Amino acid sequence: MRDPDEELVRRIGAGDKRAASELVRRHLPKMVGLGRRMLGDAAEAEDVAQEVFLRVWKHAASWKPGQAKFETWMHRVAMNLCLDRLRRGVRNAGEVSPETPDHQASATRALDDRQRRKRVRDALQMLPERQRAALVLCYYQERTNIEAAEILNVSVDALESLLSRARRTLKTELSAERAELMSGLEAG
């Protein structure tokens, strides 16, 4: 399988700033998204993405094609940076920037959607970091199970176990919260 970033990485290794800009353009949204979902903080996510691209610049010349896709390596670096920050507690509990609401939806619907997204983000942040990492990679970063397992340095079976436990925990957490909300509505 040909790595779509291989030529850019070779050029970056030779000091080509335009190639670096192109790689950033291609992958910045994914790196920031991964950081945001793992850390729950937009500023921290941007810091992680910046560090990923600094490492790309520093290590591109020593990249050996053929072992893994370069994008997989970048995801692994981003995930490790996020996990390091989570372990050190270097994290602001800041709000993730809201997504753009559908302008045709009613104000009530837009508010409900924002609250639902916030509940999911909050529940995601409560997961153990490895389970959260597996979910973020597979569902939000759209990595295959094989790629996600490689990034997390676990077997595919272990990844599937992490995903299964994470989904069960989220389902339990979100259904309990839904029951609470429904009882609150009935009481009101």
The 10s digit of each residue's pLDDT in 105-146 is 456 656 666 777 788 888 888 899 999 999 999 988 888 899
Q: How far is CA 3 from CA 35, 67, 83, 88, 133, in A?
A: 23, 10, 26, 34, 24
CB 60 within 8 A of CB 46: no
Closest listed residue to residue 82, CA positions, set 119, 24, 136, 121: 136
CATH 1.10.10.10 fits 103-188, yes or no: yes
The predicted structure's pLDDT at residue 161? 95
Q: For residue 24, how many C-alpha atoms fall within 13 Å in the half-sphere facing its CB?
A: 17
Higher-confidence position of 107 and 161: 161
Task: With H, G, I as helix, E, B as strand and everything else as coil, classify residue 46.
Answer: helix
Closest listed residue to residue 79, CA positions, set 164, 5, 148: 148
The predicted structure's pLDDT at residue 97? 41
What residue segments make up the domains of the chain, in order of their start? 1-97, 103-188
Same CATH topology for 1-97 and 103-188: the answer is: no
What CATH class is the domain 1-97?
mainly alpha
Token pair for 115: 């609250």
The 10s digit of each residue's pLDDT in 47-64 is 999 999 999 999 888 888
The predicted structure's pLDDT at residue 28? 95
Token pair for 156: 């595919």
pTM: 0.65
